[in-house]
Amino acid sequence: MVVFQFRAGWFTDGRSQPWVVKASRLWVEQFIPEAELRQEFGGHVNWRAPAEPTADMPGEAVGVWGERLVSRFKRVLRERGAVFEVVQGEGPRQHLLSMAMCRMSRRTNRCT
């Protein structure tokens, strides 16, 4: 499987562009359930299915943003047995569907 890693062009006000990773939702949820994405990563991003699905992106995508969280996301996948290749770039064209966020506790590093 493939995990796409790229700098998102989400901000136009001069802020630096965050690192983002995304992969097939169906594949990711075999290793990290959606509820855990919010709890462990402080949120996640969902993308609609691409107009032209591929073997690596057959439907919706899910991912996280921020350099540390991107690294942690990939590490957690590997620790849970996921085998994947990191491909630089956004992959198939997809539109953002939603962003789910929560406040992270500094003490526990978990959602509160």
Domains of the chain, first to last: 2-9+18-101 (3.30.1370)
Q: Give the pTM.
A: 0.85
Nearest to 41 by CA among 17, 63, 13: 63
pLDDT digits (tens), the chain, 112 positions: 999 999 987 766 666 788 999 999 999 999 999 888 888 888 899 999 999 999 999 999 999 998 999 999 999 999 999 999 999 999 999 998 877 766 666 676 666 5
Q: In the structure encoding, which two tokens stand for residue 6, read together?
A: 């790229």
Q: What does the alpha-carbon distance between residue 13 and residue 44 come to, in Å, rounded to a whole number? A: 22
Nearest to 67 by CA among 20, 3, 12: 20
